Structure 1
Amino acid sequence: MRNRFIGGVLALGLVVPATAGAQEKATVGYYPGALISMPALVASEQKFFEKNGLNVELVPVASGPAMTSAVASGSVTFVNNSWDNLILAVDKGLPVRAVTGSTVKVPFALIVRKGVPLPDLAKGYPAVIKDLLGKNWGVLAMGVSVHFMAQTILTDAGYKASEVTFLAVGLPNTARPALQRGAVDTYLGGEPLPSIMAATGEGTVVVDLSKNQGPKVFHDLGYNGWWASTSTLKDRPEVVARFTKSLEDSYCWFSKPENLDQVVALMQKYVKVPDLSEDAFKTMVKGLLPTFGPEITSYTIDTWAKLLIDNKQLAAARTRKDVVADTAKESFRCAN
């Protein structure tokens, strides 16, 4: 069945050049005010979409569930969403597949608010988790991937999830006030919040998953990628090919050290962080660059499926072949 979704252009692994005809139109969902959708933002600003024959409209989308709904309904051509959400969407019968990767590491860090004693901080993980027992752990929402990751940080360190209290505090814009008030003591979130908390002295990063700290199961684990509907894969294969090539071009450009200053300036345009100095913002972006990559590994999909099964969100395993388009790369290296 899945081979029906792959047209001749994709089956041959070819990309239709922009000169082949009029540019194809596509809409691309991204998370406003966040760094996680950087590949698409760079592709737009550096005109990689245009060079590959795409006329792209960037569409701000507030959350993962909204991304899923948008691509499944056809209101957005491509969206940026996590692998756990993809596996659950396919398991529920939604007509979506991944077409290319976005991150090759989990881009989250466990932040502890100012005022919480951390006598074991210097010992690192897992020793520092002892300092957080009996505390209120803030998460985006209950029963989602970041909640499961936070639980795994606890259990991998030798403790029970029941030894802390998990509280849903929403996105970073509401999590930060919750940390400031002391309503929660920790929060597992992505940039720019960890850098903001460190720069302002409001908190301390105790486990940085993006740097392969914490449970080994999260080391070098992809977190999210770009999806399309199965109808797009079937009916518009050249659009999928042009989109994936554009993101590969974007990755190869922003990964070059000589382009760092341009990348920083571009991200400052999309992500305003007044709490960070110029140098701190640059350090944050530079630290994030190694977390990106276009590949989607079997290990990544298998690991997320197991995590969902362990947390009783998924009844049976789903493999890479079940949820990823045949043309998506499992490994990738820039030409130069």
Structure 2
Amino acid sequence: MPRRSRARSVVLTPLAVLALLGPTACGDGAQPDAASPEELTEVTVGIIPIIDVAPLYLGIEQGFFADRGIEVSTQQAQGGAAIVPAVVAGEYQFGFSNIVSMLIARDRGLPLDLVAIGARASEDVLDDGSGQMMATDASIGTVEDLVGRRVAINTLAGITEVAVRASLDAQGVDADQVQFVEIAIPDMPSALTGGQVDAAVMAEPFTTLAARDGARPLPVSYAAMNAGAPFAGWFTTETQAQEQPEVTQRFTEALEESLRYATDNPDEARAALDEYLDLPDGIGEEVTLPGWDPTIDEDQLRRLAELTAEYGFISSPDVLDDLLAG
């Protein structure tokens, strides 16, 4: 039987995020670096409640973190833009975010270090488990029909907006003619059926839930932006990495083992969704899984940095060098 470390989950509210941006934003949240054999070092990890973070829960269940003396608590947030300030403030020791939010934070002088790739796009522009545009309106049959429409994304100026802009540009559609609406991913299926938005870029398992309600995919996705490439990752701060190097190393090793285990055991990864999501029966068996190779490849990340700079969210693609410096 694998040993388990307890995973406690708390939802981060918008007011809590705002509070974290106050005077404590340069705190390090330091804890003892090494745990005794009898004790587990507690770390708090900020996550988004989507399929991409399933390996973390699977690794907790398999005992990969406990075996390295770490007890993981999780806190849920709407997107990487909310998780980044919480990690910088020391409220969390580690976080999951899209790479774009990390690049923006680094460009603004926030000391983030990427420790592992967290998810990769699929090779299918119509079936990307982490970022796929879905629409229910019968009048939207092609990407040209998105002009003047409302499109839901989980956070503005993040990976999804970059992906939509890149996908539309490649197909000759002016993304500035699309109205972006910020909606949490779990709320997107109901926003579609309720008519709040005309299309939504969502992640599994909510893509499958939306499809059950009649939503159809459009060729706007993370895969359409950069097929097979990494778009999200796990990160910490320079302070955490420098002041608690052993904890950071042990966490990273456990995380990498979790990601590889999820890759090799997809059915278990699907089952792990029930650890942090309340889903109808059978959904986990239908979802499209992302790629979970944790290897950091600078060449693969460079294209995303170039797009992020092209759309004006960072000053230069060279910001990537700072993110990878740790």
Stretches of structure 1 lacking an aligned partner (at least 5 in a row): 1-15, 119-127, 327-336
Q: Percent of aligned pairs with the same residue?
A: 22
Matching residue of 1:246? 254
Matching residue of 1:316? 316
Alignment partner of 1:72 out of 88, 91, 112? 88
Alignment partner of 2:153 out of 139, 146, 150? 139
Matching residue of 1:176? 189
Is the 8 Å Cα contact of residues 102 and 225 (structure 1) preserved in structure 2? yes
In structure 2, the CA distance between the partners of 1:145 and 1:70, relative to structure 1 (3 Å rule), is: same
Matching residue of 2:54? 38
Alignment partner of 1:24 out of 25, 28, 41? 41
- In 1, Cα distance between equivalents of 2:71 and 2:274: 23
In structure 2, the CA distance between the partners of 1:157 and 1:238, relative to structure 1 (3 Å rule), is: same
Q: 1:137-286, aligned counterparts within 5 Å?
A: 137-162=151-176, 164-201=177-214, 203-207=215-219, 209=221, 212=223, 214-215=224-225, 218-256=226-264, 259-274=265-280, 277-278=281-282, 280-284=283-287
- In 2, Cα distance between equivalents of 1:181 and 1:315: 38
Is the 8 Å Cα contact of residues 302 and 319 (structure 1) preserved in structure 2? no
- In 1, Cα distance between equivalents of 2:313 and 2:269: 38
CA-CA distance at 1:145 after TM superposition: 2.8
Is the 8 Å Cα contact of residues 55 and 259 (structure 2) preserved in structure 1? yes
Greater CA drift, 36-45 or 53-62: 53-62
1:60 paired with 2:76, answer yes
Is the 8 Å Cα contact of residues 18 and 51 (structure 1) preserved in structure 2? no
The SS at the match of 2:296 is coil
The letter for the 2-side match of 1:92 is: R
The letter for the 1-side match of 2:296 is: I
The letter for the 1-side match of 2:45 is: V
The letter for the 2-side match of 1:312 is: G
Q: What TM-score, normalized to structure 1?
A: 0.76
CA-CA distance at 1:47 after TM superposition: 1.1
Q: Deviations over 1:84-138 (max 9, x none)?
A: 11111112111221111111227200101143353xxxxxxxxx32344454333
Aligned length: 287
Matching residue of 1:98? 114
In structure 2, the CA distance between the partners of 1:138 and 1:320, relative to structure 1 (3 Å rule), is: closer
Alignment partner of 1:110 out of 133, 146, 159? 133
- In 2, Cα distance between equivalents of 1:60 and 1:129: 32
Is the 8 Å Cα contact of residues 105 and 291 (structure 1) preserved in structure 2? yes
- In 2, Cα distance between equivalents of 1:30 and 1:130: 34
CA-CA distance at 1:77 after TM superposition: 0.8
Is the 8 Å Cα contact of residues 18 and 50 (structure 1) preserved in structure 2? no
In structure 2, the CA distance between the partners of 1:59 and 1:197, relative to structure 1 (3 Å rule), is: closer
- In 2, Cα distance between equivalents of 1:57 and 1:138: 29
Q: Deviations over 1:150-202 (max 9, x none)?
A: 1222110022224x43131411344333322334221112112211111222x
Is the 8 Å Cα contact of residues 81 and 225 (structure 1) preserved in structure 2? yes
Matching residue of 1:8? none
Is the 8 Å Cα contact of residues 136 and 186 (structure 1) preserved in structure 2? yes
- In 2, Cα distance between equivalents of 1:165 and 1:301: 26
The letter for the 1-side match of 2:227 is: H
In structure 2, the CA distance between the partners of 1:165 and 1:264, relative to structure 1 (3 Å rule), is: closer
Q: 1:290-309, aligned counterparts within 5 Å?
A: 290-309=290-309
CA-CA distance at 1:271 after TM superposition: 1.4
- In 2, Cα distance between equivalents of 1:142 and 1:18: 39
The SS at the match of 2:74 is strand
CA-CA distance at 1:230 after TM superposition: 0.8
- In 1, Cα distance between equivalents of 2:234 and 2:155: 22
The letter for the 2-side match of 1:103 is: A
